[in-house]
Chain A
Amino acid sequence: MYLVPLFPLLGAIISGLFRNQLSKTAAGIIASGAIAASFVVSFLLFFQVKSGGAIAVTPLFTFIKTSAFTIDFAFQVDQLSALFLLIITGIGFLIHLYSTAYMHEEEPHHFARYFSYLNLFVFSMLLLVMGANYVIMFIGWEGVGLCSYLLIGYWFKNTNYTAAAKKAFIMNRIGDMGFLLAVFYILQKVGSANYATVFAFDGFSSTDVTTICILLFVGAMGKSAQLPLYTWLPDAMAGPTPVSALIHAATMVTAGIYMIARSNVLYSASEIAQHLVAIVGLATALFSATIALKQNDIKKVLAYSTVSQLGYMFLGLGVGAYTGAVFHVMTHAFFKALLFLGAGSVIHAMHHEQDIRNMGGLKKHLPITHITFLLGCIAIAGVPPFSGFFSKDEILAAAYAHNPIYWGLGVAGAAMTAFYMFRLYATTFLGSFRGTQQQLSHLHESPISMTLPLMVLALLSVVGGFLNVPEVLHGNAALHHFLSPVLTSESKHSLSHSTEYILMGSSVAIATLALIFAINKFSKNPELGEATGLGKTLANKWYVDEAYDAAIVKPLNSVSLLFKNFVEKGIDGLVNGSGKLVQYSSRQVRLVQNGQVGSYILYMVLSMVILFLLWWNQPILTKFIQKIF
């Protein structure tokens, strides 16, 4: 079991330490091979879990031991983590493969550094998923944060990119604070961080549970880019595109989902927290969908789309549809990774041009990319029988059962999703080419190692939904049954079949309409001029960054300035005055410190003698000590 994270760790160490020695090929093979090996082991583990079904906790060694609690470095592989393992290692492997081609222009040692980071990321993510307690999860949590930072700032010579990396790091820290507090809270209350112990603990008051859940959710908000901590994710697109695909779409950002799904027992016990999760999720889904409508950067669109989809997942979690959320994580991992990689392929072909206004008509130049991208778009838009349909529909159905308003807003978001995705698709691949002549002449389909992952992911995006065909469609809801031992507190909605049909039909219809509208609007003559009014607001992301700047950064700066002045004038005078006093007196005392070792030792011996003498006559010593204190 420990092999799964061990391989990526070894890969990271080897390609990291020997980055100056390894050739590009060797680094690629080592890194990809490590993930492949880990994938194979995960696969075996998956089937073991599937057949055995028992939750296995493997303690490796004692990590922290205090009188109050003991934390083992233990791994737990159950249905939930087995599924995540497959997603992480599987998609991770595809993206490693993709990266060997995508990053091929880098210097060898940068190339190896990249793969080292990537492997380290996979290792941390596996640690996060496999940990048998919150502390191990937190280690992985911080590890993925670190790797995300390193990878966003991979091209560290560009200060904008490093700024984006720092932003991601700091935003995440705010969330991590919540997580850490939650862990402390749990440790303090339960005396253990093991999932089994925590979930079975019955000494929580409802306030405790709510506090823990909200604190955990703050952590999830940071990591999974929910309102109001989402702004780092679009900026994180500064990193190489495969990184965006792996970290900022498929895996890391779903860590929040994983955490909440893992803690479903706690959440189900706290209605307030659930409502909070649902509302924040829904708000994020809608809010970022509106922003995505007007973005022109191919990766930005995908990034906001990711935020939006994450919102859906949280909605699912909030309404108790844990399976749906996890299912959506999986399908989203397939098609969003696909879309990012497709975007990467486009960017690669366009020589690092990311603005869709300068693209168009790439259909005939990049046939494989085009088809796979199209499949991805259909999947995300929720057209049956593609994977996105099943997962999104499950969440929406659960939302309807919970509150029809949620459903209505959710469908609106889905419609926007379909619209902006096909806007993206149409402006990129349809119509005529709008880039420079030079770009046109260099347009080429990507190499096989890039298109192969695309094709695999496209296949998965198409068929991935059949893993969990709901009962209403005469499926067997395989994933649902598989996960049920872990997600014990899943709320079953009791909608009649006819209601479900209507819900499905309406959401699909709305999404399809939006889709067709988008294709019509953008395929031939896209209006890509400067947006006005609401459009401008949307294009500027609701001015959230500016608002943050005005509301937090600027006041903070001015307050700091004020304090600085105050401190410099007032307090510094005081401090400097006392400092001068100390300086003067120490100048006198310093004469004792003549730098000659002999005299120091002499002082030492003399003081020892004096101490002994005092000890001899203890009353004097006692009085002396009393006088001092």
Chain B
Amino acid sequence: MGTTQLLFWLLSALSIFSAMMVLISKNPVHSVLWLVLVFFTISGHYILLNAQFLFIVNLIVYAGAIMVLFLFVIMLMNLNKDAEPQKSIWMKLAGAISGGSLLLIFVSVVRSASEMQSKQALLKTGNIGLIDQLGKTLFSEYVIPFEISSVLFLSAMVGAVAIGKKH
């Protein structure tokens, strides 16, 4: 077991633990911070997979922008009280059971996918995750989706402003 494997297990355990904490935390702000930690660990996985660009973009976009936005909203709404509405215990149980059975199903599907048994994900090497490779592909073959997504983004911004405006 090399360093990489060790890191993989560490990051996986940490990400699952923090994801659980996102659910368990009563305080929304804590949830946000745990989720940030999840994003960090997933970014760590990206580094292990040598997807440098996605690593950094994940940090900038998710941890740096989206979660800050969440924090903003939660803090402005003053939702730090623990008086958050709770579902009835039965609903919670039903939710947990159905989510768990979904997980079971997934796992069994994955286990039965026999051609996946021998496949390996390339770690640390492979240069497709580097920014110049991605950039060349993005701006040659995927220019139009890129532009369309920018239009989408712009319209989302305008929409957010329009919705959020006080009447």
Contacts and interface: CB of A to CB of B under 8 A. Distances in A.
| Direct contact, A vs B (beta carbon within 8 Å) | yes
Interface of A: 598-599, 602, 605-606, 608-609, 612-613, 616
Given A602-B91, A605-B98, A605-B99, 18 more contacts: A598-B87, A598-B91, A598-B95, A599-B91, A602-B95, A602-B98, A605-B102, A606-B98, A608-B102, A608-B105, A609-B98, A609-B101, A609-B102, A609-B105, A612-B105, A612-B109, A613-B105, A616-B108
A602, A609, A616 interface centre (most CB from chain B within 10 Å)? A609
B94 interface: yes
Contacts of B99: 605
Contacts of A605: 98-99, 102
A612 to B, nearest CB: 4
A315 B108 CA distance: 80
Contacts of B94: 602
Interface of B: 87, 91, 94-95, 98-99, 101-102, 105, 108-109
B103 to A, nearest CB: 10
7 contacts: A598-B91, A602-B95, A602-B98, A608-B102, A609-B98, A609-B102, A612-B105
Interface class of chain B by DSSP? helix
Contacts of B109: 612
Interface class of chain A by DSSP? helix
Nearest to B105: A612
A523 B101 CA distance: 100
A80 to B, nearest CB: 39
Contacts of A616: 108
A612 B98 CA distance: 13
B68 to A, nearest CB: 25
A599 B94 CA distance: 10
A586 B26 CA distance: 38
B115 to A, nearest CB: 17
Nearest to B103: A609
Contacts of A606: 98
A605 B94 CA distance: 11
A609 B101 CA distance: 7
Which 10 A/B pairs are nearest by Cβ-Cβ distance?
A612-B105, A605-B98, A609-B101, A606-B98, A609-B102, A605-B102, A609-B105, A602-B98, A602-B95, A602-B94
A428 B85 CA distance: 87
A605 B95 CA distance: 9
A598 B95 CA distance: 9
A599 B108 CA distance: 26
Nearest to B87: A598
Contacts of A599: 91
Contacts of A609: 98, 101-102, 105
Contacts of A608: 102, 105
A608 B91 CA distance: 18
A608 B105 CA distance: 9
Nearest to B101: A609
Contacts of A598: 87, 91, 95
B28 to A, nearest CB: 17
Contacts of B102: 605, 608-609
A216 B108 CA distance: 64
A584 to B, nearest CB: 29
Contacts of B101: 609
B56 to A, nearest CB: 33
Nearest to A609: B101
Nearest to B109: A612
Nearest to A607: B98
Nearest to B104: A609
B91 to A, nearest CB: 7
A608 B94 CA distance: 15
B105 to A, nearest CB: 4
A613 B112 CA distance: 13
Contacts of B98: 602, 605-606, 609
A604 to B, nearest CB: 9
Contacts of B108: 616
B101 to A, nearest CB: 5
Nearest to A603: B98
A608 B102 CA distance: 8
A496 B102 CA distance: 95
Nearest to A616: B108
Contacts of A602: 91, 94-95, 98
A609 to B, nearest CB: 5
A617 to B, nearest CB: 12
